[in-house]
Structure 1
Amino acid sequence: MSPLDVRPLDPDVPTIDRRRAEDYLSAGLWREERIADLLRAARLRSPDRRAVVSGTTTLSHGELHRAVTVAGRRLEGLGVRAGDRVVVQLPNCTEFLVLALALIDIGAPPVLVLPGFGEYELSHVVRTARPVALAVRTGNRSALTTESTRRLRKEHASLRHVLALGAGTAGDVDLAALCDPGAPWDEQVAQAVTAPRRSDGCAVDAAVFLLSGGTTGPPKVIPRGNAGYAYMIRAATEIARVTEDSVCLAVMPAAHGFVLNCPGVLGTLAAGGTVVLGDPTDPRQAFDLIERERVTHCALVPTVAMQWLTAAAGTSADLSSLRVIQVGGARPVPELAGRIRSVLGATLQQCYGMSEGLLCYTRLTDDEAVIVQTQGRPTSPMDEVLIVDEQGRQVPNGTTGELLTRGPYTVAGYYRDPAATAKAFTPDGFYRTGDLATRTPEGDLVVNGRVRDIINRGGEKIPAEDLELLVARHPAVRASAAVGAPHELYGEVVHLYVVPETGQEPTLLELRRFLRELGLAFFKLPEQMEVVAQLPTTAIGKIDKKALRARIARRRAAEA
């Protein structure tokens, strides 16, 4: 029987048409395996090799397998079953990795949320995903307050458990204990560590849920199906040359798809390599980790890469182990890209993609011009890429248009959001990326910007319309418009134009505090503000964002 004949655990997960699915199976891209099978096999293959380094904790692949298996049984003891969903918002730490792998292992896909998201974004995710549990860090360093988690449990009936990393409230589950293989456990759990496990679910079931960048509003929930996700990770691992000797440093949130699966954390573990978890904001701390752990691979957004290049001039750390620096999340300027090899001693690999699917890479053997000036070419020979004009007609190579894509690891739609799916996907399954791109005669892509109105702050996507709607809630604001203003480090920051109510004039600090009280993520807050009497409009009455950006450009030119 074909794996496509197996009934999915979750009927709300959109699936691609059967003909294309059968093509991917026939081509050997899809296999009858879950990503859990791939990861479990790697843990058992080399049990004595290092798997995870986090702070002072080091786990071998065998120890990681025990921790994952034990955590899975404890989750099942809490009533978490295959097909359930658990929202995970944790920093880079051992508990994050053990919990995420345990959920994947038992077929209860984690919904991975970036640590910086606030209650506003998280509430939307919980409302859509309907998870049975929420895993969060508690305490002063948490993005959520105790009151926030209490409100979420009260407002969302599906939430039965809060898995708390830190000092939780009464009734919370101690996440550190749940993920600790050294804690007491019974004989049944002990036997499960070595017993073979039946793979629950099928090829089209979700392995994990990622979140969209939120370019058109609150983040959308993206189900990554097992077969496509496993293929993508296998292919990315080969392209980045990740092997059991590789050491991958995660300095950005591991919940981000770029860090998690391109090939990232999951690809390194699947290859039998070592993952170093950290979140150092100071490049010097990252350099110390590279020297100590002999890091070979790391994924960075351009802003962090720029910080590393600046800091490298004054470091005495030995960075000679570095082989590959992946840069993605936003297009790096060619000048930055060109300095990676000469300053850090590693090969730059540009990565372009999205949580919905398509991944493009420059290859490690490409000419320097391709590596520096393009965002590479698709991962799979069965990735389909169209570049179209405003009427949906394909444009020739060298001409800019919107990039559309479908392929063996691009999803078929968003989870429980048919309206967003209908808007973002064509009837024949192509995903409208919203990115403007050109294609070279050799097939490499150059990404030129966005179709939709978003602000790209260092790789973090901020939807202007969503921000404007929240600003409008302030009693002193009559109207507002948010645009991206050029910034030396982040590429763009939010510049907010505000039309105040008569007799009032809110300050930038007041609006930032107001937005934080609404639960908005910190990186989405405006960093510049200008009070104006009115906003310019186009001939059809829309706010003229082009005129607002030109106003910023004129002021910058005058100040230069």
Structure 2
Amino acid sequence: MTTLYATPRIVREDRPDGSILLRSADQLRPYPASILHSLREWASRDAHSLLVADRDGSEGWRTVTYGEAVAGAESIGQGLLDLGLGASRPLLVLSGNSVDHLLMMLGALNAGVPVVPTSTAYSLQSKDHARIRQVAELVTPGAVFADDADRFGAVLDTLQQTPAITSRGNRAVGATVEELRAVGAGSQVRQAFEGIGPETVAKILLTSGSTGAPKGVLTTHRMLASNQQMMRQVWPFLEEERPVIVDWLPWSHTFGGSHNLNMVVTNGGTLYVDDGGPPALSRSLANLADVPPTIYFNVPAGYAQLVPVLEDDPEFAEAFFSRLRLLFNAAAALPSALRQRLGAVAEKTTGRRIPVSGSWGLTETAPAVTNAHFDFDDARCIGVPLPGAEVLLRPEGEAYEILARGPMVTPGFFRRPDLTASAFDTEGFYRTGDAVRLADDADPDAGLLFSGRVAEDFKLTTGTFVRVGALRTSLLSALPQLSDAVIAGQDRDEACALAWLNLAETRKLLGRDPVAAGDAYVDPALAGHLARGLEVHSRGAGRAGRIERILLMTAPPDLDAGEITDKGYVNQRKVIELRSDLVDRLYDEPAHPSVVHVASSEASESR
């Protein structure tokens, strides 16, 4: 069997100012000019090989081969050029992952038209569509694509001055995907493809915009193609085993749309669009049972829902793990207890160890900068720099801010030269705002440990510095009944948390739904269990590592208010700002009945 991982070989350079430069000793090998060139290469080798499939509305899959994808991309690209799209008039995408979404994306890229994929939350969950309007004002799209004209009707009305392209629906639209596929390739689209170079903008990816209007990250073909070559060098099995993935992660996000999708295209694999994910776990389970993946990608919230099913359903677990080589987590740190459970159920089911790996990167880095292509025990490990990537660690309190440089880094922000100028240091390193530590100061090959966002950290009144990211991860690891949490305590004597429940784990614990009253859960049995968990979590920890109280909120984070990003990440500071009354309740004396206290379990159960 092909070797799974390349052996890390990291070079460390210590600088007089206390900063540390890390890079791989392995040089980045040549890579194609674009992902499109990889697509065409695979189509020339095996035109009938399956590229993508999505559910066709019944029990089956609708499929597109590599050959069909190239032909579709050329025709759609010509159709988009006929509609007047171009480098300064991009394609705005509203709908989620699908065969038609991919064809439209490839068509736009083939014609040199940037793609602006947006989260469906902007269109379907938002009540005012303010973010979509902001995006449209920023990028001035030449056309907008939404797969279902009826489902996306309200937001299409908002963008009625922009020509619409859809797959289905009863509403009148400008064009359909099938009409564009029938256009046929002309000399204009062929010339456009020949003009694509490494610096050509492929996508404008939107950051969360949690503190203001969304920002457009310029994503070039060089960034995307180089990043995939970096991954091929640390995962050598990709060169001999064409990947099969079943993936729900949205293409509006760099993890799903740049990392996972492009890995499939680069390596001649197949992507089955999972129409489930954490909001619709049952559909994901059906898809995964039908098509077992060779690599599985998810985020902590997804794994938190999947692991209990794997533990309780041996038949599903056997199908899921049947040809799996690697489990991969990204976007946030995977709580250590969840990682251990995932590894344990994999080994119990298969009799072999299936690694649970991870990496670190940003929308601005296309996305991977580091990868943990080695065995590790600490769940905070984000690995080592990929070949061709450099990271600079600058002292920041007890940790380091990590900065990144390399061909995978963005040239800047769309129409925001001010943001671009401030984003880089004088050496061209991108300032990420993330904090890390060295796993082993004497061994750079041991990798880095993620410590959270520098801007989220704070001090208690005692002067104790609290690393929010690390504390949040350890709390979620100790209490799997929590799906997420925000840490409070700035200018107070102790750290406390506002949290949301993982209802699947909570029902498993209680055998029923938890009791709620107004804005909080007030279930004595649950409170007792969590109080005991807090005691265990706090043993031996100093003030910076303790959570004294928790309040379990019933109201989910509000997208329109900025409490949660379109990608599902909680905005710590915004939640604390908008729920200041609940933060104050955490610190009330005597303790409020809805607050779980780290004091004795008997006291908690008596509330």
TM-score, reference length from structure 2? 0.66
Is the counterpart of residue 312 in structure 1 residue 310 in structure 2? yes
1:556 equivalent in structure 2: 596
CA offset digits 1:234-278 (Å, max 9, x no partner): 22244344355310111221332111222x111111211111112
1:70 equivalent in structure 2: 75
1:260 partner SS: helix
Aligned-residue offset at 1:362: 4.3
Aligned-residue offset at 1:99: 0.7
CA distance in 2, matches of 1:356, 1:425: 11
CA distance in 1, matches of 2:452, 2:560: 30
Change (3 A) 1:253 1:299: same
1:199 equivalent in structure 2: 194
Aligned-residue offset at 1:361: 4.6
CA distance in 2, matches of 1:451, 1:330: 15
Aligned-residue offset at 1:409: 0.9
2:312 partner SS: coil
2:213 equivalent in structure 1: 218
CA distance in 1, matches of 2:77, 2:437: 46
CA distance in 2, matches of 1:334, 1:113: 32
Change (3 A) 1:108 1:139: closer
1:232 equivalent in structure 2: 227
2:413 equivalent in structure 1: 414
1:387 equivalent in structure 2: 394
Is the counterpart of residue 295 in structure 1 residue 293 in structure 2? yes
Q: Is the 8 A contact 2:39 2:66 kept in 1?
A: no
Q: Is the 8 A contact 1:86 1:133 kept in 2?
A: yes
Is the counterpart of residue 99 in structure 1 residue 139 in structure 2? no
1:376 partner SS: strand
CA distance in 2, matches of 1:61, 1:221: 30
Aligned-residue offset at 1:105: 1.2
Aligned-residue offset at 1:152: 2.8
2:146 equivalent in structure 1: 136
CA distance in 2, matches of 1:532, 1:137: 37
**Residue 343 of structure 1, aligned match among 332, 342, 345:** 345
TM-score, reference length from structure 1? 0.71
CA distance in 1, matches of 2:137, 2:146: 17
1:261 equivalent in structure 2: 258
**Sequence identity of aligned pairs in percent?**
19
CA distance in 2, matches of 1:546, 1:510: 16
CA distance in 2, matches of 1:530, 1:49: 47
Change (3 A) 1:484 1:122: farther
CA distance in 2, matches of 1:432, 1:421: 11
**Residue 359 of structure 1, aligned match among 358, 362, 368:** 368
Segment of structure 1 superposing worse, 434-443 or 294-303: 434-443
CA distance in 1, matches of 2:42, 2:360: 27
**Within 5 A, what are the aligned runs for 1:462-541?**
485-489=498-502
Aligned-residue offset at 1:546: 9.0
1:276 equivalent in structure 2: 272
Change (3 A) 1:299 1:534: closer
2:14 equivalent in structure 1: none
2:381 equivalent in structure 1: 374
Aligned-residue offset at 1:87: 1.3
CA distance in 1, matches of 2:227, 2:579: 49
CA distance in 1, matches of 2:251, 2:110: 18
2:238 partner SS: coil
Aligned-residue offset at 1:28: 5.9
Q: Is the 8 A contact 2:559 2:565 kept in 1?
A: no
- Structure 2 residue ranges without an equivalent (≥5): 1-26, 56-60, 124-128, 348-353, 458-467, 477-482, 488-495, 506-518, 521-553, 599-603
1:7 equivalent in structure 2: none
Change (3 A) 1:513 1:400: closer
Letter in 1 for 2:248: V
Aligned-residue offset at 1:286: 2.6
Change (3 A) 1:326 1:177: farther
2:45 equivalent in structure 1: 45
Change (3 A) 1:290 1:344: farther
Q: Is the 8 A contact 1:436 1:451 kept in 2?
A: yes
Is the counterpart of residue 59 in structure 1 residue 64 in structure 2? yes
- Structure 1 residue ranges without an equivalent (≥5): 1-26, 391-398, 465-482, 498-507, 537-544
Letter in 1 for 2:273: L
Aligned-residue offset at 1:342: 2.3
CA distance in 2, matches of 1:349, 1:305: 13
2:597 partner SS: helix
1:405 equivalent in structure 2: 404
Q: Is the 8 A contact 1:386 1:405 kept in 2?
A: no
Letter in 2 for 1:449: G
Change (3 A) 1:461 1:99: farther
Q: Is the 8 A contact 1:515 1:525 kept in 2?
A: no
Aligned-residue offset at 1:70: 2.0
CA offset digits 1:424-469 (Å, max 9, x no partner): 33243222212222122333121122123599999999999xxxxx
Aligned-residue offset at 1:348: 1.2
Query: How many corresponding residue pairs?
Result: 469
Aligned-residue offset at 1:34: 2.8
1:242 partner SS: helix
**Within 5 A, what are the aligned runs for 1:143-162?**
146-154=153-161, 159=162, 161-162=163-164
Change (3 A) 1:226 1:343: same
CA distance in 1, matches of 2:243, 2:274: 17
2:225 partner SS: helix
Q: Is the 8 A contact 1:217 1:463 kept in 2?
A: no
